[in-house]
Amino acid sequence: EVQLQQSGPELQRPGASVKLSCKASGYTFTEYYMYWVKQRPKQGLELIGRIDPEDCSTDYVEKFKNKATLTADTSSNTAYMQLSSLTSEDTATYFCARGPYEQLYMDAWGQGASVTVSS
């Protein structure tokens, strides 16, 4: 069974950084993209970027290029996203999601990780 297990909720101060994790199991980690998606409270979904764990190449959506850093550790089948210089605009739930190389949809999702930025 494919599973993406995300790290727990975070409460951070403005200006801080946070690193979220997404541990994959039930499939070959290096054979699928890993996407990261943002969802603000009661809002829609917004793609942040993706990483190819095979070679750690990344594609970021322009507005997140100075906000998010995506990495992957093939020894632990874990993808990471670091968010820097946090503001209230970063308060959201962040999902990791797997996507096949050949078909660019997202066919399995993590449970989401809540990040709250507050002083």
**Residues interacting with another protein, by CB under 8 A?**
44-47, 59, 61-62, 95, 97, 103-112
Q: In 3-state terms, what secondary structure has residue 76? A: coil
Using the minimum distance from each CB to another protein, give the nearer residue, 13 or 41. 41
Smallest separation, CB 73 to another protein (Å): 22
CB of 35 to another protein, least distance (A): 8
CB of 61 to another protein, least distance (A): 4
Contact (CB, 8 A) for 15 and 119: no
Query: What is the Cα–Cα distance from 42 to 110, expressed in whole angstroms?
Result: 18
Sign of CA dihedral 51, 57, 61, 63: positive
